[in-house]
A = this chain, B = another copy of it.
Amino acid sequence: MQRYMLTESLADFKGTTTELSGEHFHHIKNVMRSKVGTKVYLTDPNRHSFVAEIISFTDQTVLLKWVSNEERNSELPVEVTIASGLTKGDKQELIIQKATELGANQIITFASNYSVVKWDSKKVAKKITRFQRIAQEAAEQSHRQQVPMVDHFNDLKTLLDSSKNYTHKLVAYEEESKVGEKSRFADTLTKVKSGESLLIVFGPEGGLSLNEITQLQAEGFVTCGLGPRILRAETAPLYVLAAISYQFELLN
Task: Identify the A interface with B (CB < 8 A).
Answer: 72-75, 98, 101-103, 141-144, 180, 182-183, 185-186, 226-232, 235, 238-239, 242-243, 245-247, 249-251
Known: A98-B238, A142-B232, A183-B250. 16 other contacts (CB 8 A): A72-B180, A74-B228, A101-B229, A101-B232, A102-B229, A102-B235, A102-B239, A141-B232, A185-B246, A186-B251, A226-B250, A239-B246, A242-B243, A243-B246, A246-B246, A247-B251
| Contact partner, A243, options B75, B98, B243, Cβ 8 Å | B243
| Contact partner, A242, options B103, B183, B238, B251, Cβ 8 Å | B238
Docked-complex contact A250 and B101, CB < 8 angstroms: no
Interface centre among A75, A232, A243 (most CB of B within 10 A): A243
| Contact partner, A186, options B142, B180, B250, Cβ 8 Å | B250
Docked-complex contact B183 and A231, CB < 8 angstroms: no
Docked-complex contact B143 and A230, CB < 8 angstroms: yes
Known pairs A243-B246, A246-B246, A249-B182; A73 contacts B142 (CB<8 A)? no
- Report chain B residues within 8 Å CB of A74: 228-229
Complex: chain B residue closest to A239, CB-CB: B242
